[in-house]
């Protein structure tokens, strides 16, 4: 069976940046399961996988416009240290849920300098060129319930 809209797909993948650093990968023996054509994964990867079958592999390069979007400087903000009450040690890379005028947003601590903390609400992969090595582990038909929910059920997917 080939990957097409509404197929349940399992992929083993490694994601590297332009310098060859590994940014993310599926754990050994635990491929990522997703529903093709439902926006479960970034468009650039979904498009590249269309038509592939179990056992096929491919290297895919995805730019920001088909990945996690551009970086927005407006999502980088300085906040006073006292905004982090109850946090003893603030370190770069820590993530917090922040209340903003646009609603709750996940931000990362980008810099701590004295009493000033710089937080970044951009997705960590925003603005990056992404290099995926992908191998298709399995392709199967989705159940009607999975199609209704727009995601994969079972041991490799949502459990609810």
Residues contributing to the site for Zn ion (CB under 5 A): 149, 158
Q: Would you list the DSSP string of 68-131?
A: T----GGGEEEEEGGGGTT-S---TT-EEEEEETTEEEEEEEEEEETTEEEEE-S-TTTT--EE
Residues 6+ apart with CB under 8 A from 49: 3, 9, 11, 36, 58, 60, 134, 136
Residue among 82 and 145 whose Cβ is closer to Zn ion: 145
Q: Residue 140 Cβ, how far from Zn ion at the closest point, in Å?
A: 16
Which residue number is nearest to Zn ion in terms of Cβ? 149
Cα→Cα distances 134→1, 9, 39, 120, 141, Å: 17, 12, 18, 29, 20
121 or 157: whose CB is closer to Zn ion? 157
Could you tell me the smallest distance in angstroms from the CB atom of residue 150 to Zn ion?
A: 8
As a whole number of angstroms, the distance between CA 55 and CA 159 comes to 26
With respect to Zn ion, which residue has the nearer C-beta, 47 or 143?
Answer: 143
CB of 138 to Zn ion, least distance (A): 19
In angstroms, what is the minimal distance from the CB of 157 to Zn ion?
8
User: Please, which residue, 28 or 145, has the CB nearer to Zn ion?
Assistant: 145
Q: Measured from the CB atom, is 116 or 143 closer to Zn ion?
A: 143
How far apart are CB 12 and Zn ion at their closest, in Å? 23
């Amino acid at each position: 069976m080939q990957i097409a809209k509404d197929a349940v797909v399992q992929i083993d993948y490694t994601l590297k940046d332009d310098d060859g650093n590994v940014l993310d990968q599926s754990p050994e023996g635990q491929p990522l399961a997703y529903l093709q054509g439902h926006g479960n994964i970034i468009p650039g990867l979904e498009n590249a996988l269309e038509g592939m079958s179990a056992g096929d592999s491919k290297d895919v390069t995805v730019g920001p416009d088909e990945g996690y979007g551009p970086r927005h400087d407006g999502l980088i903000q300085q906040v006073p240290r006292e905004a982090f009450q109850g946090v003893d040690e603030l370190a770069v890379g820590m993530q917090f849920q922040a209340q903003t005028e646009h609603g709750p947003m996940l931000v990362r601590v980008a810099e701590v300098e004295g009493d000033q903390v710089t937080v970044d609400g951009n997705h960590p992969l925003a603005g990056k060129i992404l290099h995926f090595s992908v191998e298709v582990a399995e392709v199967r038909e989705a159940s009607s319930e999975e199609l209704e929910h727009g995601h994969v059920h079972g041991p490799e997917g949502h459990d609810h």
